[in-house]
């Protein structure tokens, strides 16, 4: 009798854990990827469409929502700074793209079941921008944007933070370093 109760308890737990008509291992198949993702081509810096290649989409489950499941879709054959990631939601009978962002990103727990997305986009070899996207109940919206500067591959931060870093370099008699920071942030090659 005890074995039967244990088995019934396990079956009930599995049923309530997954919900009606769902599996315990959510999957997004390649055929379910939205058309705007499956047919996307990279755009070159000149704004011209590059030759499309055979995409190799990976799909990673992120979270369960009230409407379905969230997945990250990435094109593993894409290399470089222009590669994108798509956050999609699979619900009964449909898969909808919620957000697209750059391949350098972090997910954080948000206030609800939808994660906060922080993404980094390189604008130039000496500039980038961090964007923060949050779920507002119906869509993702950008809640902040923070431009940063890079000096010799090192992120000195915002304009104010870089100004402080240049001042500190001068205090430490590192004039070359201070000049490099000012060149990258203000286009000034002298102090």
Q: In degrees to the nearest 10, what's the CA dihedral of 178, 184, 187, 191?
A: 0
Q: Which pLDDT does position 191 carry in this prediction?
A: 61
Range scoring the smallest mean pLDDT among 28-32, 43-47, 181-185 = 43-47
CB 59 within 8 A of CB 72: yes
d(CA 120, CA 118): 7
What phi and psi, each to the nearest 5 degrees, are found at residue 32? Answer: -90, -5
d(CA 104, CA 177): 27
Report yes or no on whether pTM surpasses 0.85: no
Closest to 36 measured CA to CA, from 90, 98, 92: 98
Average pLDDT, the chain: 81
């Amino acid at each position: 009798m005890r074995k039967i109760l244990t088995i019934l308890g396990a079956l009930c737990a599995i049923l309530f854990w997954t919900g009606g008509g769902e599996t315990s291992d959510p999957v997004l198949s390649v055929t379910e990827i939205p058309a705007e993702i499956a047919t996307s081509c990279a755009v070159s810096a000149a704004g011209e469409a590059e030759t499309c290649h055979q995409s190799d989409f990976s799909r990673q489950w992120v979270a369960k929502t009230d409407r379905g499941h969230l997945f990250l879709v990435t094109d593993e054959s894409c290399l470089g700074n222009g590669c994108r990631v798509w956050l999609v939601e699979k619900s009964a009978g449909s898969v909808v793209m919620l957000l697209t962002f750059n391949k350098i990103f972090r997910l954080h727990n948000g206030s609800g079941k939808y994660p906060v997305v922080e993404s980094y986009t390189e604008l130039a070899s000496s500039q980038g921008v961090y964007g923060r996207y949050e779920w507002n109940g119906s869509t993702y919206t950008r809640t902040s944007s923070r431009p940063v500067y890079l000096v010799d591959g090192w992120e000195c931060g915002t304009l104010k933070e870089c100004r402080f870093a240049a001042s500190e370099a001068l205090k430490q008699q590192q004039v070359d370093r201070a000049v490099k920071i000012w060149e990258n942030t203000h286009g000034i090659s002298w102090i």
